[in-house]
Amino acid sequence: MNTNVMFYILEQEDTSADTLALVKLQACFQAAYYYRQNQSVFIYTQDQNQAHAIDELLWSFEPDSFVPHNLVGEGPKSGAAVEISWQRPMNRRPILINLTSTVPNFAHQFSQIVDFVPSDEQLKQLARERYKSYRQLGFKVDNQKINQTLNADQVADDAINK
């Protein structure tokens, strides 16, 4: 299987905004996009706390729409359209949204991987290392810039900053 990786380069106009909050928000937008394309998504998080934060954010980030999702082990046996976990996926899905600092050792099982390049220099360096690792695995890697602004009307602050 050929795996394509898209890195979204998050450009922030407001440098005081929380970089990781913007990554979480963009991950939710990507999950919603793929859900609308009838694709099932696995969001791989750094830890359980981040998984719960993404779970909460998916309930509130787009007030006029709903993205069916669950934490791994919850919901239907086959999982919802979007599954969130800090552990290896239990079901096969075509799309991986990687929110960790490394390339998961199960990345090869996905046809499309979404990853992010935050504006923070330390996080940007980790993204460069993931970029190299994906290429070494033979994945096709591309990137796209996104001008990211955080609109308080779009998202509840408490959900983003968990």
Residue 160: name the closest of 43, 19, 63 by CA: 19
On whether the CB atoms of residues 9 and 138 are closer than 8 A, the answer is no
pTM of the complete model beyond 0.95: no
DSSP, res 100: S
C-alpha dihedral (144, 145, 150, 155), degrees to nearest 10: -10
| CA atoms within 13 Å, Cβ hemisphere of 26 | 28
% of the chain exceeding 70 in pLDDT: 86
pLDDT value of residue 16:
53
* Four-way CATH pick for 4-160: 3.30.70.270, 1.10.540.10, 3.30.930.10, 3.40.50.10110: 3.40.50.10110
| CA atoms within 13 Å, Cβ hemisphere of 84 | 25
Q: Which of 54-58, 73-77, 124-128 is predicted with the least confidence, judged by mean pLDDT?
A: 73-77
Where along the chain do its domains lie? 4-160
